[in-house]
Amino acid sequence: METVLAVATQYDISPAHLKEGSIFGALSDPSIQFLLDEGVLHKVAKGDEVFSYGSKGGSFYAVLHGKLDFYKQHNDKKLRTRTVCFGEAIGFVSMIALHERVGSLCALEDSLLLEISSQLFSDFHDQHPFDFGILLMNLSRDMARTIRELSNALVEYDELEK
């Protein structure tokens, strides 16, 4: 994983394109540009680990390009619970809950991520309060979708056990 400048990336990271992703949907162009300018862009190669179980959760990542797998860990067990794609976020729950990462994130393909620290998240609230509300709604909507998918998987698993 390496830090890159926005001008050095080969991918379209214009606000117009990023709005196609669920995390940036309905945000204003200036607010998206603020996050791009103030956040940290990471170029991730296929197979790279972005974060590991137990690491500090002081930020979250928005996927600007690519796909990554999240592996949830509990005690000595580890299970891939989802694939994170363009326009989705990962790591938000750990940042908001103020706890360590509960799993690891690995790139399935070359990817570009925007890291949004808790400080940037706070600054975004201060400088773009209306868009901050929209971003929270988008993040909440994605969390709700994830919870539904995981709870559906639990029901399906229970049915297989019977």
**Burial classification of residue 144, based on how many CB atoms lie within 10 Å of its CB (0-12 exposed, 13-18 middle, 19 or more buried):** exposed
pLDDT tens, position by position, 55-114: 999 999 999 999 999 999 999 999 999 999 999 999 999 999 999 999 999 999 999 999
**Number of independent structural domains in the chain:** 1
Asked if 111 and 121 touch (Cβ cutoff 8 Å), the reply is no
User: C-alpha angle 57/87/10, rounded to 5°?
Assistant: 100
The answer to whether the CB of 120 falls within 8 A of the CB of 36 is no
pLDDT digit string (tens) for 40-70? 999 999 999 999 999 999 999 999 999 999 9
Q: What is the reported pTM?
A: 0.92
Per-residue pLDDT at 160? 73
CATH number at residue 122: 2.60.120.10
Q: How confident is the model at residue 5 (pLDDT cuts 50, 70, 90)?
A: confident
Domain that holds residue 101: 2-161
